């Protein structure tokens, strides 16, 4: 029986592993091939001529890919940092306290995940114009908070729902100031949640297209915008190269969080607990 069970388990692992590879990796193979191809047309199974042209262009000064890469990293990092600043206290309030209108606040925070971004951003656009925030990096960072904050708040609310604030009282009683209490007691306890929430926020910001396009007005060219430009202009080789760069953070983060996502941490398990 035992052998049978472990056999079943290993074949199940093999099956899920195969499905993951087919779904996640296979679609990337044409991208990778394209980035090294110099023309690749039907009916040839593989390109006739290989070339590093696309990669050379991608990393050249004229393409603007590197500038766009740094800009995208900067915007995503800033949006993530702001999400953490808002999400930690908001998650604490939702996860730990009962107050009037709590379910309304929850709905408000979840709304951006339900309402299409384009509907929200049209209204915001006119406000941002009057504030002079359109076509600026700051405006793009701010508008990215609409989809990132809900992720951060939800993860943190789950963490705080399982958190015992008595540890903070204990630290105060042992002579720690409120700031030191946060640093030495609260922060280590909620760190797994902050990491997972921040990674989510980073990825969500990283992949924004519509919000960036509308608020940035085409002046703030992040990687998705650039990618879209090349994709629509038919440069499949350059699209392939940029596409591979574009998915890199996603893969890195997937590997980093594999442990957390497997349920060994409360960070993700906490989703349903507020």
Partner 1 sequence: MTHVSLQALTKIYPGSTEPSLDKLSLEIPSGELTALLGPSGCGKTTTMKMIAGLLKTTSGDVVFDGRSILQDKPEDRGVVMVFQNYLLFPYMSVAANIGFGLKMRKINQAEIDQRVSDMLDLVKLPDLGSRRPSELSGGQQQRVALARALIVQPKVLLLDEPLSNLDAHLRFEMRDLIRNLQQDMGITTIFVTHDQEEAVVLADKVALILDGRLKQYDVSSAFYSRPVDKATALFFGGQNFISGEVNNGVFASSFGQFQLHDKTENGPGTLTIRPENIRIDSGSGGSNSVVASIVEKIYMGTQTRLQCQVGDTLLQVIANPNDVEGYTVGQDISLALPAQSLWVLRS
Task: Using CB under 8 A, list all residues that contact partner 1.
Answer: 164, 166-167, 169-177, 180, 184-185, 188-189
- Report d(CA 273, CA 247) in Å as an integer: 31
Residue number, 184 or 271, with CB nearest to partner 1:
184
Residue number, 101 or 116, with CB nearest to partner 1:
101
Cβ at position 263, least distance to partner 1 in Å: 19
Cβ at position 184, least distance to partner 1 in Å: 8
Cβ at position 181, least distance to partner 1 in Å: 9
Cβ at position 91, least distance to partner 1 in Å: 20
Residue number, 144 or 260, with CB nearest to partner 1:
260
Cβ at position 173, least distance to partner 1 in Å: 5
Residue number, 62 or 173, with CB nearest to partner 1:
173
Residue number, 53 or 172, with CB nearest to partner 1:
172
- Measured from the Cβ of residue 215, the count of other Cβ atoms closer than 10 Å reads 26
């Amino acid at each position: 029986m035992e052998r049978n069970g472990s056999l079943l388990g290993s074949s199940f692992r093999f099956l899920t592993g195969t499905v993951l590879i087919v779904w996640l990796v296979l679609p990337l193979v044409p991208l990778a091939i394209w980035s090294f191809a110099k023309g690749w047309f039907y009916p040839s199974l593989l390109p006739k001529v290989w070339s590093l042209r696309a990669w050379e262009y991608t990393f050249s000064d004229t393409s603007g890919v590197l500038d766009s890469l740094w800009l995208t990293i900067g915007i995503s990092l800033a949006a993530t940092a702001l999400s953490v600043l808002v999400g930690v206290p908001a998650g604490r309030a939702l996860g730990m306290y009962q107050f009037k209108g709590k379910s309304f606040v929850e709905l408000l925070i979840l709304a951006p995940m339900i309402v299409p971004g384009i509907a929200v951003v049209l209204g915001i656009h006119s406000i941002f114009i009057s504030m002079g925030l359109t076509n600026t990096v700051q405006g793009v960072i701010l508008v990215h908070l609409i989809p990132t904050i809900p992720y951060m708040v939800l993860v943190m609310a789950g963490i705080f729902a399982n958190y015992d604030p008595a540890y903070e009282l204990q630290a105060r009683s042992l002579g720690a100031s409120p700031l030191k209490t946060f640093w030495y007691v609260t922060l280590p306890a909620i760190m797994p949640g902050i990491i997972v929430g921040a990674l989510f926020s980073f990825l969500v910001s990283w992949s924004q297209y519509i919000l960036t396009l509308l608020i940035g007005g085409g002046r703030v060219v992040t990687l998705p915008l650039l990618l879209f430009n090349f994709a629509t202009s038919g440069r499949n080789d350059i699209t392939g190269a940029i596409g591979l760069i574009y998915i890199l953070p996603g893969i890195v983060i997937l590997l980093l969080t594999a442990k957390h996502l497997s349920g060994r941490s409360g960070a993700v398990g906490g989703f349903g607990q507020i």
